[in-house]
Structure 1
Amino acid sequence: MASQSIFERIGGRDAVEAVVSDFYDRVLDDPVLEPYFEDTDMQDLYSHQVQFISAVAGGPVNYDGDDMATAHDGMGITEEAFGHVADHLEAALRENDVPDDDIAAILTDVAAMEDDIVEA
């Protein structure tokens, strides 16, 4: 029997949506991050983030958004801001009872994208 994906272990789409909702509550309440989202269609971003996290977690979802470099080009994202996002994602995952090993795997995948997101 094949082992379950992170997506399946944490509860599928409903669980991912709960994590993403909690994540954006935290992000939009962060004074360092709030300016990055001033002119953003949050419904569209939320949908893309659910897709992205689902795909990273091994769900039956193909992420159809831009690659990370294209999606974040020109936004001036700093290492500090990237760190805040990672911290908020970790907190949202923990708040929604995602197991530690799965949190570590997701954060490792996110950390691997830092060079494509952060601008010097």
Structure 2
Amino acid sequence: MSEAQSIYARIGGQEAVEAVVSDFYDRVFDDPLLEPYFEDTDREALYAHQVQFISSVAGGPVSYDGADMQQAHEGMGITEEAFGRVATYLEDALRENDVPEDDVDAILKEVGALEPDVVAQ
């Protein structure tokens, strides 16, 4: 394996990302704090966008073409607590799917940098 290999390739590509996203949303959709944020959401579209987003963040051969984070979350009233919980569920899903610690940290760093665009001001 090349050291220049992307996180996406190291963790197993699309199949691995889909497993992580599936586990992630099992946790998110089961959380009473987060449930109201997803009441009127097309979950299949959300799942597809999340697979695309995580693939892109992990250096996969995918470009994220969804709305920018600020626009996508505008008017949702997302709190710091809700953002933190979502980040925790992503971390749990990554670890549950045997993503190496350095790669978990790198993905969470990218996601954490989006907090100012996601959390309501």
Shorter-chain TM range is over 0.9
> Which residue does the alignment assign to 1:114?
115
> Which residue does the alignment assign to 1:80?
81
State the distance in 2 between where 1:46 and 1:102 align: 21
* TM-score normalised by L of structure 2: 0.97
State the distance in 1 between where 2:63 and 2:107 align: 16
* TM-score normalised by L of structure 1: 0.98
State the distance in 2 between where 1:62 and 1:116 align: 19
Amino acid of the structure 2 residue aligned with 1:11: G
State the distance in 1 between where 2:45 and 2:15 align: 17
> Which residue does the alignment assign to 2:68?
67
State the distance in 2 between where 1:2 and 1:90 align: 23
**Structure 2 gaps, min length 5:** none
Displacement of 1:2 in angstroms is 6.0
State the distance in 2 between where 1:55 and 1:74 align: 25
Per-residue CA distance 1:32-70 (angstroms, 9 max, x = gap): 101100000000000000000000000000100000000
SS, match of residue 5 in structure 2: coil
Displacement of 1:3 in angstroms is 1.2
Q: Give the CA RMSD over aligned residues.
A: 0.8
SS, match of residue 77 in structure 2: coil
Per-residue CA distance 1:80-119 (angstroms, 9 max, x = gap): 0000000000000000000000000000000000000000
**Structure 1 gaps, min length 5:** none
> Which residue does the alignment assign to 2:46?
45
State the distance in 2 between where 1:34 and 1:71 align: 17
Amino acid of the structure 2 residue aligned with 1:80: E
**Structure 1 outlier segments of 4+, above 6 Å:** none
Count matched residues. Answer: 120
> Which residue does the alignment assign to 1:31?
32
State the distance in 1 between where 2:32 and 2:42 align: 18
